[in-house]
């Protein structure tokens, strides 16, 4: 069972409330992010200031106050007492390590850690030595709070490394957290008020918008194509609703006119299309029959020793075309498809010779690379494919040039290939995409169904038909039919 769809009124109401909620969530997230960034920046800069101050005192002790020889070995003696003095002055805890990471001295103040590590990890030492400024900051989280531990190299007056200064800094975010809580409390009050206002506002707005739409929807539900429909009359409608109502009322007027016209047009169109198709399909076999009779009349010689053989060939051609016409008539009389396909194992070379017998033009040349190429095809439809392509080639040649048509049959990659090449006017670029469309033609006569029919026949047998053309130079159609 499908869930009930929300009405437009409910969706308008829900979207306005959702908008308020999304806005409040986004502002809360941005505020949290902003407070977090400000807190991080504050602690980072404060740690840097503390570290700079401690380093200044450490350098002062090394370079000015100590009486010991300044070296890594004497570092514990130099800061034996000075480390506590510096820690008290700056109110910050720090530790001193030698360059190998071993603890030398510590201010020993409580920073919330379990204990000061006696030896620095290899990770800290590697990171410290890898950085350009020789300073590394580590974040430490314990059950007592969050800390930042910075590590930097201390040097003598000649910039010779003496040891590692480790500054311990406790992050105290209580002030910023209190500010954030207070901000959210005030923001919450503001959004509660806004939410209540939005609910009331959304209720009345959605009710106002959908009032007219309900009237229109009720009328649309009653609209029927086969009956007289009433127009919509709504007073005090807004501009958009008024335009919608006007469009609907105009559609009702046009619908009544169209219903009458459509009924007549559909009947006329059905008969027109039927007549066109029948005429085209019957015309296809009539043309080769006419050409065969003319050829027989022109070449008939009673004294020819092969007269009986030629009569048989002409008779065979006429009978085939008559059979085609008969099958077409039967198909249309039963409102069925065109003549059913008779899948036969055919020799393309033999069928092409048979199809070309009806053409007597001396400028038509036929070439065969093999004497036998066997495919599975319908004999009648294959003849129709060849004769249609040759007839199109003949009609494409203009009177201002010497005509030439080449028909070739050959085998290529387990396919039988038939090409029909002419030196006619060619196909223009704008007509190229339309060449196989039904009813498209550039001739002054004809229905434009020939090439579309050829394409359908070839593709029925998993074949393909393509063409290349150059304007004013000629066109080549290529039919490819799988042998298996």
pLDDT for 447 equals 37
- Where do the domains of the chain lie? 8-178, 223-340, 341-484
Q: Which residues of the chain have pLDDT under 50?
A: 1-2, 111-113, 334-337, 440, 444-449
The architecture (CATH level 2) of 341-484 comes to 2-Layer Sandwich (3.30)
pLDDT score, position 19: 81
Residue 111 CA from chain centroid, whole number = 59
pLDDT score, position 93: 80
For residue 469, count other CB atoms closer than 10 A to its CB: 20
Q: What pLDDT sits at residue 257?
A: 72
For residue 454, the SS3 value is helix
Q: Report d(CA 175, CA 172) in Å as an integer.
A: 8
CATH for the 8-178 domain, from 3.30.1180.10, 3.30.450.20, 3.20.20.330, 3.40.640.10: 3.30.450.20
Side-by-side strand order, sheet with 145-155: 103-106, 93-97, 161-171, 145-155, 135-142
Span 102-114, pLDDT tens digits: 888 888 655 444 5
Q: Are 350 and 371 in contact (CB under 8 A)?
A: no
Main-chain phi, psi angles of 401, to 5 degrees: -145, 160
**Rounded CA separation 36/158 (Å):** 41
Q: What confidence score (pLDDT) does residue 317 get?
A: 76
pLDDT of residue 464: 93
* Pairwise CA distance, residues 35 & 139, whole Å: 19
> Do 163 and 154 form a contact (C-beta atoms < 8 A)?
yes
Rounded CA separation 149/169 (Å) = 6
Virtual torsion, Cα 284, 287, 289, 292, nearest 10 deg: -140
Helix (H, G, I), strand (E, B) or coil at 44: helix
pLDDT value of position 446: 38
In angstroms, rounded to a whole number, what is the distance separating the alpha carbons of residues 433 and 298?
A: 41
Specify the pLDDT at position 404.
93
Residue 339 DSSP label:
S
- Return the beta strands (E) in 194-352 as ranges: 344-347
Q: Considering only CA atoms, which of 476, 479, 483 is closest in space to residue 464?
A: 479
The pLDDT of residue 262: 66
pTM of this structure: 0.36
Instruction: Supply the pLDDT for residue 372.
Output: 92
pLDDT for residue 352: 93
């Amino acid at each position: 069972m499908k869930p009930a769809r929300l009405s437009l009124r409910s969706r308008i109401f829900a979207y306005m409330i959702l908008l308020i909620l999304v806005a409040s969530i986004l502002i809360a997230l941005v505020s949290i992010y902003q407070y977090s960034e400000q807190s991080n920046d504050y602690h980072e800069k404060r740690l840097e200031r503390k570290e700079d101050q401690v380093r200044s005192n450490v350098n002062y002790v090394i370079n000015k106050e100590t009486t010991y020889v300044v070296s890594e070995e004497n570092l514990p003696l130099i800061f034996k007492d000075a480390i506590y003095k510096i820690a008290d002055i700056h109110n910050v805890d720090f530790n001193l390590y030698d360059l190998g990471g071993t603890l030398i001295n510590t201010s020993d103040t409580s920073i919330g850690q379990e204990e000061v590590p006696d030896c620095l990890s290899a990770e800290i030492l590697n990171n410290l030595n890898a950085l350009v400024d020789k300073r590394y900051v580590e974040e430490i989280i314990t059950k007592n709070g969050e800390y930042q531990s910075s590590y930097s190299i201390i040097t003598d007056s000649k910039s010779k490394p003496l040891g590692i200064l480790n500054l311990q800094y406790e992050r105290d975010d209580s002030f910023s957290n209190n500010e954030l809580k207070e901000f959210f409390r005030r923001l919450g009050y503001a959004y509660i008020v806004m939410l209540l206002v939005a609910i009331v506002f959304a209720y009345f707005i959605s009710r106002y918008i959908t009032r007219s739409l309900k009237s229109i929807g009720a009328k649309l539900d009653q609209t029927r194509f086969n009956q007289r429909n009433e127009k919509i009359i709504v007073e005090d409608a807004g501009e958009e609703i008024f335009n919608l109502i006007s469009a609907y009322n105009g559609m009702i007027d046009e619908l009544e006119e169209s219903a009458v016209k459509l009924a007549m047009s559909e009947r006329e169109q059905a008969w027109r299309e039927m007549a066109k198709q029948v005429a085209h399909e019957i015309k296809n076999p009539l043309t080769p029959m006419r050409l065969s009779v003319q050829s027989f009349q022109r070449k008939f010689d009673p004294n020819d020793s092969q007269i009986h053989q030629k009569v048989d060939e002409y008779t065979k051609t006429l009978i085939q075309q008559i059979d085609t016409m008969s099958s077409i008539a039967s198909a249309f009389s039963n409102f069925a498809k065109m003549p059913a396909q008779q899948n036969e194992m055919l020799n393309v070379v033999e069928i092409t010779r048979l199809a070309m017998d009806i053409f007597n033009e001396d400028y038509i040349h036929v070439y065969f690379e093999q004497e036998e190429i066997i495919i599975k095809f319908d004999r009648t439809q294959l003849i129709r494919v060849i004769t249609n392509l040759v007839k199109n080639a003949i009609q494409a040649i203009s009177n201002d040039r010497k005509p030439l048509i080449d028909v070739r049959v050959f085998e290529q990659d387990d396919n039988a290939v038939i090409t029909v090449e002419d030196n006619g006017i060619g196909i223009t670029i704008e007509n190229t995409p339309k060449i196989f469309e039904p009813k498209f033609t550039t001739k002054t006569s004809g229905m434009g169904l020939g090439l579309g029919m050829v394409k359908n026949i070839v593709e029925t047998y998993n074949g393909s038909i393509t063409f290349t053309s150059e304007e004013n130079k000629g066109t080549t159609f290529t039919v490819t039919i799988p042998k298996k």
